[in-house]
Structure 1
Amino acid sequence: MTQYTLTILPTGTKVVLPAKSRLTEIEFEILQKPIPFGCRSGSCGVCVIEVLEGSDSLGQPDDNELDFLEDLGRPGGDHRLACQCRLYGNAKVRPAADT
């Protein structure tokens, strides 16, 4: 089974997940909560992350996600809703609250 590494700053936490896993899966892999999650449906904005490396490894955002990120004042390609991402390769992210 193919697995990829998600690195979460500022702590440098590394989580290894199977390919195509939702980022919400990190809650089952580690005790600490380096990315906060709320609704898990892309409607609360709690899990906004800044993608530092590997944006192609998180899948493409749909129009609803992009519109919501713009409403939150986080337009552009560097921010995503972690609950809407799946891991297709190694990536490095940081919760937007830490930016």
Structure 2
Amino acid sequence: MADLCKISFPGSGFEPIILEFNTNLSERLTIQNSPVLFGCRTGICGTCLVEVVGDVLPPQADEQEMLEALAANNPHARLACQVDVIGDVEIRRV
């Protein structure tokens, strides 16, 4: 079970999904299985801005720059299209 990660969406009405370890969220989340919306899927539009609580790697420089502009005071803010799942996480719309 260590190679699987549970992705939860508290307060959204969406059921948790199970993804493989080191899976990119934008490749697996759709309008049918999550409340996360995606635009460009490259980290430049900010459409997929979410709060992520759980075990994730820190943002790369390009994502960090966008986060500083979109959610400077939110330490859990991430662009879902840039997050690789490495553990169980909870995701909430910002």
Q: What is the TM-score of this pair, normalised by structure 2?
A: 0.84
2:89 matched to which residue of 1? 91
2:35 matched to which residue of 1? 34
CA contact (8 A) 2:17 2:33 kept: no
Q: Which ranges in structure 2 are unaligned for 5 or more consecutive residues?
A: none
| TM-superposed deviation, 1:60 | 1.5
| TM-superposed deviation, 1:42 | 0.1
Q: Which ranges in structure 1 are unaligned for 5 or more consecutive residues?
A: none
For the residues of structure 1 that align with 2:80 and 2:49, how far apart are their CA atoms?
Answer: 6
For the residues of structure 2 that align with 1:58 and 1:34, how far apart are their CA atoms?
Answer: 19
CA contact (8 A) 1:15 1:26 kept: no
For the residues of structure 1 that align with 2:90 and 2:7, how far apart are their CA atoms?
Answer: 6
Q: What is the TM-score of this pair, normalised by structure 1?
A: 0.81
Q: CA RMSD in A?
A: 1.8
- Between the two proteins, the alignment pairs up a number of residues equal to 90
Percent identity between the aligned chains?
32
For the residues of structure 1 that align with 2:51 and 2:38, how far apart are their CA atoms?
Answer: 15
CA contact (8 A) 1:7 1:15 kept: yes
